[in-house]
Amino acid sequence: MARPWNFSAGPSVLPEAVLKRAAEEMLDWHGSGMSVMEMSHRGKQFIQICDEAEADLRTLLSIPEEYGVVFMQGGATAENAIVPMNLINLRGTKSADYVLTGQWSRKSFKEAQRYGDVQVAAASDSATVLGGVEQAAWTWVPQARDWHVRPESAYVHLCSNETIGGVEFVDWPELASLGAPDTELVVDASSHFLSRPMDVSRAGLIYAGAQKNAGPAGVTVVIVRKDLLGHALPICPSAFDYANVVEARSSFNTPPTYGIYMLGLVCKWLLAQGGVAAIEQANIAKADLLYSYLDGTSFYRNPVEKSVRSRMNVPFVLRDASLDAAFLAGAQEAGLMQLKGHKSVGGMRASIYNALPIEGVRALISYMQEFERRHG
Ligand code: PMP
């Protein structure tokens, strides 16, 4: 059976080698006579699987010792509430600031408003002119020097890759240089997690749903500096108090065991590829190929400001939207799956995560060229 090229934004393509290994180990993990799904989360076999996944993740991202790494449930959406419940009163002020660059950061902001004095530090929610080019709302990133971070705020939150809009932060600012030296940076890195190196020490907390680059749906990775723990609001459920989860090494209650195992296999696959620095080079090559094709034709268009275009999620529209349905039907026939854009923005979106080989991008471009020849 030929696997199609899968451009889904998540859950999304996984490395074939990882799926094969999981299949081989399905009935009998390492001579245990059991599937990982059947193991106690308190048994030494699963503890070994979980510890290795954590250790490999630490290696991949050079996560410093003073950070806890935990696997939780509830997705990034639950983290939108869990983060403020844990951190908003870190300094006794119940205040936090949010940078809005698209739908996901806006959702995070709205959820956080339930827990304290939550304000917008900066937003790309309206059109602007950058380098002489008019940029529509949600297609650009406000410069850090224009952020209004209140020095008393517990943290400032950003979404470092907007999965729907296709906007990616190139790096994260030093908050000290913004006049808020005691404010922590909190990052939703869900959709570019493990696609490039990141400076964990810049952030107080990073969270990511696994179902894009790191594994199957059902696992959420949280990386948190341990000195931030222990300030949860009294309403915070104990299973969502990071202090408890870090202390229990992800097993405060039954964790998503099979998902953690799969995430561990993905980490091992990444290490075998040469780590995140190597996968970043492959991701740059894939993204460059697709964006340069898009920029060379007026039949298709990506609206995002060039310096912040996502390497993972590439939205594009057809000049003539009445051709959208024909484009998608033909793509499906050509084995190119899940190219429909998010319902809120329409058009198309190609998610080109770590596990999608460059051949998949080449196949997409050939199809797009052919479609343009027929309809342009
Ligand atoms: N943040 C980002 C950047 C996302 O891409 C998504 C899911 N696409 C979410 C948050 C929400 O994740 P979940 O559905 O796992 O809660």
182-194 tens-digit pLDDT: 999 999 999 999 9
Q: In DSSP terms, which residues pair with 6 in a beta bridge?
A: 337
56 plus 150 within the same structural domain: yes
Task: Specify the ligand 1 atom closest to the Cα of 209.
Answer: 15
Residue 180 and residue 40 in one domain: yes
Six-digit token pair at 353? 């995560």
Q: What is the CATH number of the domain that holds 299?
A: 3.90.1150.10
Which residues does the annotation mark as catalytic?
104, 188, 212
Whether residue 93 lies inside any domain: the answer is yes
Binding residues: 42, 76-77, 104, 163, 188, 211, 253-254
Domain boundary among 272, 297, 322: 272
Domain stop point among 230, 247, 272: 272
User: Domain containing 251: what range?
Assistant: 17-272
- Predicted pLDDT of residue 2: 84
- Is 213 within the bounds of a domain? yes
Confidence at residue 216, expressed as pLDDT on a 0 to 100 scale: 98
Do the domain assignments include residue 111?
yes
Please tell me the distance between residue 29's alpha carbon and the centre of ligand 1 in angstroms.
Answer: 31
Instruction: Look at residue 314 in the predicted model and tell me its pLDDT.
Output: 98
* Residue where one domain finishes, among candidates 221, 244, 272: 272
Could you tell me if 154 and 184 are in contact, meaning their C-beta atoms sit under 8 angstroms apart? yes
Pocket of ligand 1 (CB under 6 A): 10, 75-77, 104, 159, 163, 188, 190-191, 209
Do 162 and 22 share a structural domain? Answer: yes
227 C-alpha to ligand 1 centroid (Å): 26
pLDDT tens by residue, 35-67:
999 999 999 999 999 999 999 999 999 999 999
pLDDT for 376: 84
Give the span between the Cα atoms of 350 and 337, in whole angstroms. 9
Asked if residue 8 belongs to a domain, the reply is no
CATH, residue 219: 3.40.640.10
Same-domain status, 251 and 149: yes
Task: Tally the domains of the chain.
Answer: 2
CA torsion sign, 267 to 272 to 277 to 281?
negative
DSSP lists the bridge partners of residue 98 as 120, 157
- Residue 28 sits at φ, ψ, to 5 deg, of -150, 95
Q: Is 238 part of a structural domain of the chain?
A: yes
The confidence score (pLDDT) of residue 271 equals 98
Judge whether 196 lies within some domain: yes
Average pLDDT for runs of 10 along the chain of length 376: 93 98 98 98 98 98 98 98 98 97 98 98 97 95 96 98 97 90 97 97 98 98 98 98 98 98 98 98 98 98 97 97 98 98 94 98 98 95
In a domain, 325, yes or no: yes
User: Does residue 4 belong to any structural domain of this protein?
Assistant: no
* Cα angle 226, 227, 232; round to 5: 90
Which parts are annotated binding residues for pyridoxal 5'-phosphate? 76-77, 104, 163, 188, 211, 253-254
